[in-house]
Structures are given as C-alpha cells and as structure tokens.
Structure 1
Amino acid sequence: MSKKVIPENIRKSIPETTPARSASRPIWLIVDSQTLGGIETHIQELATALKASHYETQVILWQDYGQTHPLIARLTARAVSVSVLDGKLSSLLRLAKHTRPLLIHTHGYKAGILCRLLKPFLSCPVVSTYHAGETCHGRLALYDMADRATACFANATFAVSHNIASRLSRPSIVLDNFINHLSQTASQGHQIAFVGRLSHEKGPDRFVELARRCPAFQFDCYGDGPLKTALAQNCPANLHFHGMQADMSDIWPNIGLLIMPSRHEGLPMAALEALSFGIPVIATAVGAMSRAIIHDHNGWLISPDEPENLHYWLNHWLTLPAEQRMHMRQQALRSVREQFSAEAVLPALLAQYSLVVNLTPAKLI
C-alpha cells in the first residue's frame, strides 16, 4: 500500500514576512559525501538561498575522506560556513552541543539515518530530504531500506518526487529542487552533452549508443562514476569524456542540448541547471522529470523503455529552424524562473521549518 503524500498546497498559507536579521542558532545541512553530485549541488543551492534570506547556515560533512571536498570551495566562495567531522558520533554530538543548531536538515543515507536515530540527544528538530529515485542493490539496498524505515523518526520529511515520497514510512511533502543562479541570456552553445554520474541508473550507456548512431556530430560527456572505464573503452570517436568538473558554470554556455537518458531519477539538478542556462533537455520520463521538462516546450520526454527515440528527437532538434530553437531556449529560462527558482520554492520549505520549531518564518531568527 502506498503511503499518503501531503498535497503541495502549502504555499497558499505561507506568511509573506521575511526575516530581517541572521539567526544566532544555525540551520545545519548535513551529508556524508566524497564528491560532487546532485545532492551536493542541492545543498549548495539551499545553503546559498538560506544565507541570502538572512538565516545563519552551516553545512556539515560527516567525514574527511582524505582529499578536500570540492563542495567546500563552492560554499566558501558564497560565505557559507562548512565543518568537516571525523565520522564519529561523539564528534557530531559535541559539535551540536557547542553550536546548538536550531534545526538539522539531513541529506543522503548515512547522515539521515544517524541524525534521526540520535535526535533525542541532539536537542533540536531533525528533518530529512529524500533525493534518490533509483532501485538500490547490495549494501546500498540495506542503506536505502534503513533510510526509508527511519523516516518516521524525523520531525518532517521531504521528497523531490511523488514516487520517492510514496515509499517512505511517514507522510512526506514533495518539494522541488531549485536553482539560485538564473542566466539572463540563453546559451548559444552547440555541444550535445550528458552531465551526471556514470552509473547504470543514469543511462550513460544510452548516450554512448546515441553518439554511435550519429557519427557526424560531436558528443560530450561530463561526469565520473563506476562505468567510466567500460564506457571509454567502447566509445565511438565522436564522443569525448571530460571527467568530473569542479564547476560547470563556465561549461554550460558551451552546451546546446542536454541528453538525460536515465532509468531512474528523482528531480535531477543537472536538468534544472541546464534549463537555467536556456538549454533544452531530451530526457526519459522517470521520477519527477515531467515536472521540469514539458514535452515540445522546453525539451522532449521519451519512454524509459524506448531509448531509441533519443535519436528521433535529437534529429528533430538539429533540424529546427533557428527561431524555433531560440524560442525553446527562452521557454527553458522561463520555466525555471517560474517554478524552480529559490523565490518559487524556498518559502514552502521555510514554512515547514517554522512548523517543526514552532515559530513563524518571521520569528525563525
């Protein structure tokens, strides 16, 4: 039986007040992470938006994995405080006692499970966002099961798609991912690109096959992951692997079309980033992708079981007159501004924060 999902009508009851000064007690955003991905990009955007709204915000990385996490530089550039723990529960409890967070917002499996179970000792509310839409296997399947089962210990849970929310052990609120930076002009780039983790659920093998079917065009792949070696060994000459990028902001303007052939998704940040630069997206209709991509408006959606249709819609894009291409780029920019900007999404999240700390948004300071 599917779980009840709280309707997305909470925006109607959100007070229009905004905080006027910084909080003395920080909001924690905590994650266990080794590299950049969709969750880390979401945390960056959320921390930036909270700080811009005058909330003291601190990002907590659960453990130092031996190299400086690229998220640290991104957050430091935005004047967001970052703390790196040593992976010990005692360190988490000690830091919580010292900084007295107003609220802890978890992201990802480990941080979510640990903070929800430790909530009685953290002396503050714990809320969690669930991002992953894929079906996990092996050890990750155990993490996923524990992550969903312990959702009931959180003060509130959020999910980036209805499908993810329906799998949790408590009613959950569906909130969209969002983007702070909105380009004022649409990208004029020409690259046909894949941006994301090179793993089975993201479908990079489908991107490789698409490049193979279109030898007259150059294809560019940005990202890293467990399939990189196998894909690189069997890729066609017109496909270039660029690897993991510490910062995509200078690369997006070179991209003209994003291909997202995923088998499973939540609401991918890469799609929103592309749209924010006026880049249309061809994607499989999985997870909440249909919320971001409106077919024949700012991109095209295909069935996840019919990846061969990627070729059809790619040819359609390549043969569109210049004025129609520009129109789709403008539609891409408009769709992010209206639905996936911080201004559109953050008030709903702040309203939920205020509920769990029993304060109105104006007093959440």
Structure 2
Amino acid sequence: MTSRTVAVVVTRFEAGAGVVALRGALGLDPAAFRPTIVTGRGERLLGVAREAGIEVVVEPALVSPVSPADDVRALHRLTRLFARRRFDVVHTHSAKAGALGRLAAHRTGVPRIVHTFHGLPYHEFESAARRGLYAGIERRLGRCTDVALCVGTAVSVEVVRRGLVAPERVRTIGVPVAQDAPVKTPAARSRARAALGLTGPGPVVGAVGRLAYQKHPEAFVRALAALRHRPGLTGVWLGGGELAGEVSRLAERDGAPVLFPGERADVPDLLPAFDVFALPSRYEGLPVAVVEAMVCGIPVVATAVNAVPDVVVPGRTGLLVPPQRPDALARAVAHLLDHPREAARMVAEARARIDDRFTAKTLSEDLSAAYTPESP
C-alpha cells in the first residue's frame, strides 16, 4: 500500500502546538503516512524533526501576528507548494496556519483537510467585534474542514456551540506527554535544581510557556512578588518570547524572586525542581506542560480557562483561580505550600487520572483515523 503524504502546517514550530504537531508526526506509522512539517519558524523542534528523518519546509512569511503583506505572501506560497506536491492530507494547527493552510488546501483540491484547535482564535479579553469576526472566519473555514481535532472537551464544546465546524466532524483529543517524562523523586529534584543553578532549600514555584500575552507572565511575576517574604521562595519561568524584556523588568521593579532561564531543551528534566506548578494563562486549550507536571508529581494551580478543567479538577487534582487575578494565584500557591498533605493527595489523584488519552499511541490512532476517509 502506498503511504499517504501529509503536510503538517504550524505557524511556530515550538511551545505547545509545536510539541503536539511534532509528537503526532513522530508517532505516525511510516508505512502508512509520510509527514512533512511546514512552518514559519522553529529552532530546537526543527532539529528534532530533521534528525528523525521528517522533511521540513520553512516558510518565513508564515508569521503569528496579523501581517497583511506576509499573510498574502504565505497564502500564495502555500498554494503553490500544495499544488506542486499534491499532498493527500493537509493538517493545520492553530489560528494563523489554520486559516492560510486550509484556504490554500481548499484552493488546490487537497483530498483531506484536518485542523487542530489548540484553543480558539478569540477569547473574552478581546472586543465583541473582533470575536465575531474571528468566529465568522472560522465558520467559513469549517465548511472545507473534513475533521476538526479539538484539544480538550471545553474546546470541542465551544467549536460545536459556535457552529464553527459541523458536529459530526468534531473530535476531542488529548495531548501526548513525553514518553520519558521523569517522576519527581528527591534525586530528580536535586538534579533539576542543580541544572537551574538553584542552591538553596527553599520552595520553587515554576511555570512553563511562552512569555506572551496569552500566557500572562505578568500575573506570575506579581503573584511571586506577593509571596516574596516567604523564606527562600524562588519562581522559575521556563520559556522565551516577545515579553521577555518587559517581564524581567517588572520582576526587578516589584522585587519578585523570579528567574528566567529562557528556552530550554530539557524542560521535562527540569520539572522535578518545582514544588508547585503555576499556569496563569488568560486563555488556553489543554497545555502539555500542565499534564506533564501532573505526571511528574507536582501540585498544580491554574487559571479556570477553556479545557484546563479537563485535567485540573478543583480540589481534586489541583486548584483553579480566575484569570488576571495574581492575588488569587498567590493565595492558591501559598495554600499548596502550607498544606503539603493536601497537595500530595491532589498529586496522587492527578496522576491516577492521566490515562491513555495522553499517550503518543492514542494521538497516533486519532491522527490515523482523521487522515483516512471513511468508506461509504
């Protein structure tokens, strides 16, 4: 049987969407599918893909912010690429790549168009007019989408409720955790702290993600500033992004004890350094980092947004706080630090609930089904 060619289109081949796209491509049966990564940018993950023998096409015009000139250029180049290569499947990830990639695939008659919603392209912190515009664009794109894969139940519910894609084409998926994700032990904790240059015994509150508006790192800094009088407390934010300079200056101004090691290739190995994992995002799909923190054995505080409650069940597997409330985030972190038995109970239940929805094997099965048209 001839393998089916798949163009996996993602704007930034990094962070959550990039990790899911990469792990999905790596998990495909090579006898059945031949993936090609098409992306605007990426560094470490591009190297991982190439080393694994996956073809990579970099299209510099595919950028994240709205940029009319770049967007038109990217649309034309994707259209030419799909027309020349005649892919059997085009699978797009997130908003920008989802819009341009699906439109180009539809124009060139790609037989199978799949899109993954890692979240939604609109949220409560935008104007109603902007939300309406984005929803309208998504409804039009939904007409040419054969399968919509939604990361988390809440994302699926919103896609159906808003009529973005026909209900029978919507599928809920999980996120694949790293197969070699470490479990927190005293030895792993010591190694991770040494790798981060942490020498003191005090508690560490950690976060993982891009330093960008969506992740709201300012709330993390302000929460740590509110907790700065706790002996030895340190915050660590793993990840880079456009707000790196601004957030670093905010931490210095507010006296927040936060370290910013930047992008790291060894994030799973660093997670055991954390005593509490904090996710301050304004909006999300279902973050890979939260699931991996739970697998590692770290109590979690997260904002009550989108599909996060799929895994962070209040009082059972972690604590939820409202978005844009650093004061509430600080109180929740303090509660877990001050009540270690309760935190340990949540850790145990969280790990028990991370089931086969969060494996590379399950994602591979979901993708194989999405890429293969059903027989009439």
Pairwise TM-score range, normalised by the shorter structure: 0.7 to 0.9
- Which residue of 2 is the match for residue 204 of structure 1? 217
State the structure with bigger RCO (CA 8 A, min sep 6), 1 or 2.
1
User: CA 1:256–1:77 in 2, change beyond 3 Å: closer, same or farther?
Assistant: farther
Counterpart check, 1:40 vs 2:18: yes
Displacement of 1:299 in angstroms is 1.5
Q: Which runs of 5+ in 1 are unaligned?
A: 1-20, 361-365
- Which residue of 1 is the match for residue 207 of structure 2? 194
SS at match of 2:165: coil
For residues 1-365 of structure 1, the aligned pairs below 5 Å read: 24-33=3-12, 36-51=14-29, 55-63=32-40, 69-85=43-59, 87=61, 92-93=78-79, 95-96=81-82, 99-118=85-104, 119-133=106-120, 134-135=122-123, 146-160=137-151, 161=155, 162-172=157-167, 173-183=170-180, 186-188=183-185, 189=189, 191-215=204-228, 216=230, 217-235=233-251, 236-304=255-323, 306-321=325-340, 325-354=343-372, 357-359=373-375
Report if the CA contact (8 A) 1:115-1:126 is conserved: no
Report if the CA contact (8 A) 1:266-1:287 is conserved: yes
SS at match of 1:313: helix
TM-score when normalising by structure 1: 0.77
Q: Which amino acid counterpart does residue 125 of structure 1 have in structure 2?
A: R
Segments of 4+ moved more than 6 angstroms? 140-144
SS at match of 1:308: helix
Displacement of 1:239 in angstroms is 1.1
**Richer in helix (by share):** 2
Displacement of 1:71 in angstroms is 1.9
Q: Percent identity?
A: 25
TM-score when normalising by structure 2: 0.75
In 2, the alpha carbon distance for the partners of 1:127 and 1:58 equals: 13
Aligned length: 331
In 2, the alpha carbon distance for the partners of 1:183 and 1:327 equals: 24
In 1, the alpha carbon distance for the partners of 2:280 and 2:138 equals: 26
Displacement of 1:290 in angstroms is 0.6
In 1, the alpha carbon distance for the partners of 2:265 and 2:177 equals: 18
Displacement of 1:62 in angstroms is 4.0
In 1, the alpha carbon distance for the partners of 2:59 and 2:317 equals: 41
- Cα RMSD of the aligned pairs, angstroms, is 3.2
